[in-house]
Chain A
């Protein structure tokens, strides 16, 4: 486990940490992805953006091996995620952390126990050392004082920070953030932006942020992929995307209400619909 860990941190090779190749995925009759290719560089923050409903969370679940694609591969540090045995997959997952949109803290454990959980199940460390590590992680997210609270007593922003502490408890090499800024007040948004940046620098990990909050995401991302209609619509650094003249990209990046993505859900003509009294 630690061999790879040090490889990733010190060698900083140019080979991407996560590679997504020709990914196809559908749910029922609906195609979610039709050939997605991505290369997520090591030690950087990569943002995956796109309008809601484009399957950003699904993409994270495909990377984490919780869903299997119809075609294509996801490779993490060279290993094909979906070809691994159940045991090897769980071993690989110990090297990643994931921050869920809801926080997903275990409701029957306290804040402290939640953060200590990965350490208790995956390491043989003595209890005193687990305590030290847990308190360090809680200190890093500023919630050491909240360790005895239960998840039900936390605000949305606080539970997301506790979940972040839990996600970094085992010092992962890869961390996946699912919509970290959704539903947060400006202060917690600021806190989270700062935490994601700082953690990435301090721990040298590879981060993938899935989000549709343009401003916050572009401020921390090193590289951005924009997905829409099941494909990668554009990718580049935040600066290049800002001046991209593709109307679809510019509508999304600048938040224009109408454009290639129409404001109205497809419907019949409005006046005919109003006058059409027979159908009622």
Chain B
């Protein structure tokens, strides 16, 4: 019994210590103005993290929009309300699905790659040798990746929404025959820029911070063996998915739950 309590306390201390390390890590690497070379390194990471995730995010967006329209239509048509299809597709995407699904895809596509890359650099002593050359790996390796993730995910989310709305249009209007004017018109009159688009983007920015932070920290903090890298990569995907879904609930409650 005493042993169990002791164990629990020790685990608690370990968790707190890891959180402290992660916080310090974030501050040391993300705060500060980049040098001219820093911009170049950031652009390169934008390519790896953002541009290369574009395909999977856009294709998923298209299908999600199409499925939303199909599902929504079959329900709305029972009430003769299929004119509201555009409104339904746009609000579901902007408020909920785009930020969440894009973040989950981003964690799987870019987050795991970041963890594995930094982890392998650590395992092959590249980070240590950089330190010995007198270059801080937090500034040179970690910071560009963090900032690339922070910026890339919100942009990807915008792309997801745009393509998703178009996917809904393809299915709803072109295939199922909803009147085109009411698809766009209802959407235009019901979507609020601050309330819907703005809140969705706030969600996306929060998810970007959390997912990138988890991915990069897991890579930097892992045990430098092949087993350690595989574990850390798994942890990145699991932790970021859970964090995204959990935070989504909290943010939704704050934004749309009528609590404020």
Contact = CB atoms under 8 A, between A and B. Distances in A.
Contact of B126 (A64, A93, A104, A122): A104
B32 interface: no
A93 B124 contact: no
Interface stretch (A5-13, A19-27, A94-102, A268-276): A94-102
A123 to B, nearest CB: 11
Given A104-B124, A107-B124, A94 B134 contact: yes
A64 B124 contact: no
B136 interface: yes
B131 A93 contact: yes
Interface string A66-104: 100000000000000000001000110110111011101
A106 B126 contact: yes
A93 B134 contact: yes
Contact of A122 (B37, B129, B132, B134): B134
A96 B134 CA distance: 9
A209 to B, nearest CB: 16
Main secondary structure on A side of the interface with B: mixed
Contacts of A86: 136
A122 B140 CA distance: 13
A91 B134 contact: yes
A96 B132 CA distance: 8
Nearest to B129: A104
A86 B130 CA distance: 14
B135 A98 contact: no
A58 B130 CA distance: 17
Contacts of B135: 90, 121
B174 interface: no
Interface residues of A, number: 24
A159 B181 CA distance: 66
A96 B131 CA distance: 11
Interface string A121-161: 11000000000000000000000000000000000000000
A93 B132 CA distance: 6
A100 B129 contact: yes
B28 to A, nearest CB: 9
A157 to B, nearest CB: 17
B41 to A, nearest CB: 11
A91 B132 CA distance: 10
B133 interface: yes
A90 B134 contact: yes
A121 B129 CA distance: 14
Interface in B119-155: 121, 124-126, 128-136
B128 A66 contact: yes
Contact of A117 (B124, B131, B132, B133): B133
Nearest to B140: A121
A98 B133 CA distance: 8
A66 B131 contact: yes
Given A104-B124, A107-B124, A98 B134 contact: no
30 contacts: A66-B128, A66-B131, A86-B136, A90-B131, A90-B135, A91-B134, A93-B133, A94-B134, A98-B132, A100-B125, A100-B129, A101-B125, A102-B125, A104-B124, A104-B125, A104-B128, A104-B129, A106-B126, A106-B129, A106-B130, A107-B121, A107-B124, A107-B126, A117-B133, A118-B134, A121-B37, A121-B134, A121-B135, A122-B134, A166-B133
Given A102-B124, A104-B129, 15 more contacts: A61-B128, A66-B128, A66-B132, A90-B131, A90-B136, A91-B134, A93-B131, A93-B132, A93-B134, A98-B129, A104-B128, A105-B126, A106-B129, A121-B135, A122-B134
Interface of A: 61, 64, 66, 86, 90-91, 93-94, 96-98, 100-102, 104-107, 117-118, 121-122, 163, 166
Q: Across chains A and B, which 5 residue pairs bring their CB atoms closest together, nearest first? A: A104-B129, A104-B125, A94-B134, A93-B134, A98-B132
